[in-house]
Amino acid sequence: MTQQCYTNQPDAGGHYGPYGGRFVSETLIAALDELERSYAELKASASFLRELDHDLAHYVGRPSPLYFAERWSQRAGGARIFLKREDLNHTGAHKVNNTVGQGLLAKYSGKTRVIAETGAGQHGVATATIAARLGLSCQVYMGEEDIRRQSLNVYRMKLLGAEVIPVTSGSKTLKDAMNEAMRDWVTNVDDTFYIIGTVAGPHPYPMLVRDFQSVIGRETKLQCLEQTGGLPDALVACVGGGSNAIGLFYPFLDDASVAMYGVEAAGDGLETGRHAAPLCAGRPGILHGNRTYLMEDDNGQIIHTHSVSAGLDYPGVGPEHAWLKDVGRVEYVSITDDEALNAFRELTLVEGIIPALESSHALAYADKLARRMTSNEVIVVNLSGRGDKDIHTVADIDGIEF
């Protein structure tokens, strides 16, 4: 049997098969070229890599633990489920792995200002955090609807010295925040570094965000070998834009024995149309600088998405996921709001870990998957973030007011 290689993407133009690329206005081409050049240089620079490793260890708190969720596994009664504890990172999610990296890129490129888009607010907080530490001015674009849902993170960003700019156009969520950040970047391209929070956007962003997040999978591989004596049988991660998923998957892509599941948000159910699952129920198109699977109508207009978790409420997905779906390396599935909320409550009760609603989608699918597997088998779930930020959302659902 010939072993196919899945880690040789993208091509020189930033394409993952037919996906990815660079679909932006002419004004941004030079900035993307410059970013690509400086990233290629810094990736080979010992001092940059030393500083990155240092910050990941001493500022973020890496490596994050790989934790055997024994009681939760027993309750499911199948495979042994391990949790990669990205929720224990500084700022409470995997997002900071990327902002530490891009923040250093900004610093080395001499930019004095960073901007970001945010949905759940985790990427905004992680960007504001790194901007505070590096002494960069920081503005974060956030949809009005998300500002309402995630007031805690909005205040955190303000405390960190960032300005949160409400976005009132379109659906007032993550996609519109990204449009607005692009508009800012095109206007202030000389002094501004745009820290994109997921593996989407124009080349080289999907590649460099993947590279920065791949620390998750590299650590997992070592930890899994150490704790279980082998590679995991399955990996499970939630997919909005898909950065935590690609971070976990990428170092395992060429390990044929490892099955991988990307979990999209089915919202009220795929059949209702109220969801955020472009890989499961969308089709290819072009948005935010790349070709990928999108939620769109017959006329090519992007349609509104729905998920209980703001971080998954995005109509597109990273182009590498689109390619991994087409070539069949990763299976993409979906979990409804209700299923995710159940997993949220159960993990909290059984393991004393409050997961983010985003990560709860991965947990809910792992629970289903584990039941079809045996206790000799191992599943690793990326617990991409902690759930403190979602307390208001869950309390709302429970009819509780603070």
Partner 1 sequence: MIHLSRIATRFTQLQQAQRKALIPYLVAGDPRQEVTVPAMHAMVAAGADIIELGVPFSDPMAEGPVIQLAHERALEHGVSLRDVIAMVAQFRQRDSDTPVVLMGYANPVEVMGPGVFAELASDAGVDALLTVDLPPEEGCEARQILASHGIDTILLLAPTTTEARVEYLCKHASGYLYYVSLKGVTGASHLDVNSVRDKLALIRQYTDLPVTVGFGIRDADSARAIAPLCDGVVVGSALVDSVSRQASAGVTEIQAMLDPMTGLLSAIRSAIDTV
Catalytic residues: 95, 117, 384
Per DSSP, the three-state class of 194 is strand
Pairwise CA distance, residues 319 & 203, whole Å: 10
Q: Considering only the stretches 22-30, 324-332, 358-366, 381-389, report the one whose residues sit in contact with partner 1 under the rule CB under 8 A.
A: 22-30
- In DSSP terms, 302 is beta-bridged to 296
> Which ranges constitute the DSSP H helices of 160-252?
174-187, 205-213, 215-228, 243-249
Nearer to partner 1, 18 or 230 (CB): 18
Which tokens go with 23? 């679909």
The answer to whether 174 contacts partner 1 (rule: CB under 8 A) is no
Residues numbered 183-202 forming contacts with partner 1, rule: CB under 8 A? 183, 186-190
DSSP string, 81-140: EEEEEGGGSGGGBTHHHHHHHHHHHHHHTT--EEEEEESSSHHHHHHHHHHHHHT-EEEE
Compute CA 236 distance to the chain's CA centroid, rounded to the nearest angstrom.
13
What track of x and - describes contact with partner 1 for positions 263 through 282 (by CB under 8 A)? --------------------
Contacts of 117 (CB under 8 A, 6+ apart): 123, 124, 140, 141, 142, 174, 177, 178, 180, 181, 196, 197
The answer to whether 29 contacts partner 1 (rule: CB under 8 A) is yes
Burial class (CB in 10 A: 0-12, 13-18, 19+), 23: middle
In the set 93, 253, 294, 380, which binds partner 1 (CB under 8 A)? 294
The answer to whether 37 contacts partner 1 (rule: CB under 8 A) is no
The answer to whether 342 contacts partner 1 (rule: CB under 8 A) is no
The answer to whether 7 contacts partner 1 (rule: CB under 8 A) is no
Work out how close the CB of 130 gets to partner 1 at its nearest, in angstroms, rounded to a whole number.
25
The answer to whether 166 contacts partner 1 (rule: CB under 8 A) is no
The answer to whether 30 contacts partner 1 (rule: CB under 8 A) is yes
Query: Strand pairing of 19-23 and 15-16?
Result: antiparallel
Nearer to partner 1, 182 or 276 (CB): 182
In the set 66, 83, 302, 312, which binds partner 1 (CB under 8 A)? 302
Query: Is 223:63 a contact under the CB 8 Å cutoff?
Result: yes
In the set 6, 10, 24, 362, which binds partner 1 (CB under 8 A)? 24
In the set 4, 7, 25, 151, which binds partner 1 (CB under 8 A)? 25
The answer to whether 175 contacts partner 1 (rule: CB under 8 A) is yes
In the set 10, 16, 22, 82, which binds partner 1 (CB under 8 A)? 22
- In DSSP terms, 192 is beta-bridged to 113
Output DSSP code: residue 202. S
In the set 145, 296, 351, 367, which binds partner 1 (CB under 8 A)? 296
Q: Considering only the stretches 132-140, 173-181, 247-255, 392-400, report the one whose residues sit in contact with partner 1 under the rule CB under 8 A.
A: 173-181
The answer to whether 298 contacts partner 1 (rule: CB under 8 A) is yes
Query: Judged by CB under 8 A, how many residues of this single chain contact partner 1?
Result: 39
Compute CA 31 distance to the chain's CA centroid, rounded to the nearest angstrom.
23
In the set 248, 287, 310, 383, which binds partner 1 (CB under 8 A)? 287
Pairwise CA distance, residues 264 & 398, whole Å: 24
Burial class (CB in 10 A: 0-12, 13-18, 19+), 332: buried
In the set 7, 45, 151, 169, which binds partner 1 (CB under 8 A)? 169
Output DSSP code: residue 283. E
Nearer to partner 1, 86 or 117 (CB): 117
Site residues (CB under 8 A) for partner 1? Answer: 13, 21-31, 169-170, 175-176, 179, 182-183, 186-190, 284-289, 291, 294, 296, 298-303
